[in-house]
Amino acid sequence: NTETLYCIGCGAALQTTNPQAAGYLPAARLAKVTDEDAEVYCQRCFRLRHYNEIQPVELTDDDFLRLLNTIGEENALIVNVVDIFDFNGSVIPGLHRFVGDNPVVLVGNKADVMPRSIKRGRVRNWLESQAHNQGLRPVSTVLMSAKKPADIERLLTVIDRYRGDRDVYFVGVTNTGKSTLINGIIKQTSGVQDLITTSRFPGTTLDRIRIALDDGHGLVDTPGIIHRHQMAHYLSDKDLKLVAPTKEIRPKTYQLESGQTLFLAGLARFDFVRGHRSGFTAYVDNQLLIHRTKLENADDFDTRQRGALLQPPRPDDLADFPPLVRTEFTPKEDSDLVFAGLGWITVPAGVTVAGYAPEGVDVLLRPALI
Ligand code: GDP
């Protein structure tokens, strides 16, 4: 039977090769389908129906662009989820053009890992200025944690305020926590079974999940796209758990002389190149190894110890791990040197430092959050 079968939930063509892509069904399950008219769900829709949980799907760039284009044509409220630990890795380039005249609510997710000592207002201002740099003018910016029911409640209130007579589209690249957020919304909405309907969008293979609202409109989850500049892209799931901050970060301060280096496991590196003895505070996952050495020995140490003492990356992943690229900075004001997806290290005004991250992963300077 060579007929293409379609999931009756989302309309995606069923396939058995890529569990992350739309329409996936294990081969063994598909083999059991003998009747051409059988009503078959892809694994994702199956899970949604039975466990009220959505699973993320990954899209190709082209599919994602088509998806964004169709959103621009709708009259909708757009909710864009970004990871506040990796703004650059989670922006959707050109989103402001795709959304057209539709209003955007910007969700800065994972606020639960920000130390409480950092004022939320500052984080929100910073996030807004980042959005403005991208040409995005959100009607509202919400700092939240997709893992906190109270935050989800708060977001739903904001959405209600702005959605008017419109559908709501959730967009975001993978790893920003969009699935966690949607699952949170599903769990929190009473009478879940009845409220969730999956609908087919004719003419596309784009898998969307729609949560019906009582006024005939809906919340629509759209698939995420992988951002190649994310640290996550270079790590296994296991390692990602070790580096992506998951609990409130406990800042660690190091008094450094110029000519000293901090390794953030084997993933990133920070050199104090020039300046008076100063305090540098690292905001990274509490479990992430920070190792101090002399700058003059650092290259050699890196060569010998990456994948050994400096883990992650694991020895098995070394071959595929991109080389670290060095960028030097002398900030004029107190700043944060951000390692996209990992966290940041504070840098006082006037000193010269260098940040290293895997090729393709951003190292950048921003005005200090504290
Ligand atoms: P998606 O690819 O955007 O759908 O992202 P997921 O929902 O799969 O989340 C990606 C990772 O971020 C997972 O490890 C989640 O547990 C984690 N995550 C999601 N939301 C939050 C949050 O609010 N706080 C924290 N600390 N982690 C989160």
Q: What is the mean pLDDT of residues 229-248?
A: 77
How far apart CA 226 and CA 239 sit, in angstroms, is 17
How far apart CA 171 and CA 187 sit, in angstroms, is 19
Which residues lie closer than 8 Å to 235 by C-beta, 6 or more apart?
Answer: 243, 312, 313, 317
pLDDT of residue 49 exceeding 80, the answer is: no
Quick check: CB of 58 below 6 Å from ligand 1? no
Atom 6 of ligand 1, nearest CA residue: 177
pLDDT, mean over the chain: 85
How far, in Å, is the centroid of ligand 1 from the Cα of 236? Answer: 15
Q: In the structure, what pLDDT confidence band is assigned to residue 206 with cuts at 50, 70 and 90?
A: very low
Q: In the structure, what pLDDT confidence band is assigned to residue 195 with cuts at 50, 70 and 90?
A: very low
Most distant CA atoms of the chain, gap in Å: 76
Tell me, what's the pLDDT at 88? 82
Atom of ligand 1 nearest to the CA of 148: 23
pLDDT of residue 364 exceeding 80, the answer is: yes
Quick check: CB of 176 below 6 Å from ligand 1? yes
Yes or no: say if 131 and 99 are a contact pair by the CB < 8 Å rule.
Answer: no
Residues in a beta bridge with 290: 264
pLDDT of residue 204 exceeding 60, the answer is: no
ipTM surpasses cut 0.85: yes
**The whole model's pTM is what?**
0.82
Indicate the top mutation candidate among 109, 180, 230, 238 to test ligand 1's pocket, ranked by most ligand atoms within 8 A of CB.
180
> Which tokens belong to 251?
């800042």
Q: In the structure, what pLDDT confidence band is assigned to residue 53 with cuts at 50, 70 and 90?
A: low
CA distances from 231 to 167, 308, 316, 322, 339 (A): 33, 19, 17, 11, 9
Task: Count how many Cα atoms sit within 13 Å of the Cα of residue 287 in the half-sphere of its side chain.
Answer: 12
Cβ contacts of 328-331, under 8 Å, gap ≥ 24: 328/273, 328/352, 328/353, 328/354, 329/353, 329/354, 329/355, 329/365, 330/274, 331/365
> Which tokens belong to 15?
């396939």
Tell me, what's the pLDDT at 121? 93
| Helix axis angle, 178-188 to 149-163, nearest 10° | 90
Q: In the structure, what pLDDT confidence band is assigned to residue 194 with cuts at 50, 70 and 90?
A: very low
Q: Which domains does the chain have, with CATH numbers?
A: 58-227 (3.40.50.300), 233-367 (no CATH)
Atom of ligand 1 nearest to the CA of 146: 23
Of the candidates 95, 76, 194, the residue with the CA atom closest to the CA atom of residue 135 = 95
Tell me, what's the pLDDT at 55? 65
Quick check: CB of 108 below 6 Å from ligand 1? no
Q: What is the mean pLDDT of residues 101-117?
A: 95
Q: Give the model confidence (pLDDT) of 150-189 as tens digits.
A: 999 999 999 999 999 999 999 988 788 888 888 888 777 6
Tell me, what's the pLDDT at 321? 87
Quick check: CB of 80 below 6 Å from ligand 1? no
How far apart CA 309 and CA 38 sit, in angstroms, is 55
Q: Give the model confidence (pLDDT) of 224-234 as tens digits.
A: 766 666 677 77
Tell me, what's the pLDDT at 71? 84
Quick check: CB of 184 below 6 Å from ligand 1? no
Q: What is the mean pLDDT of residues 343-358?
A: 97
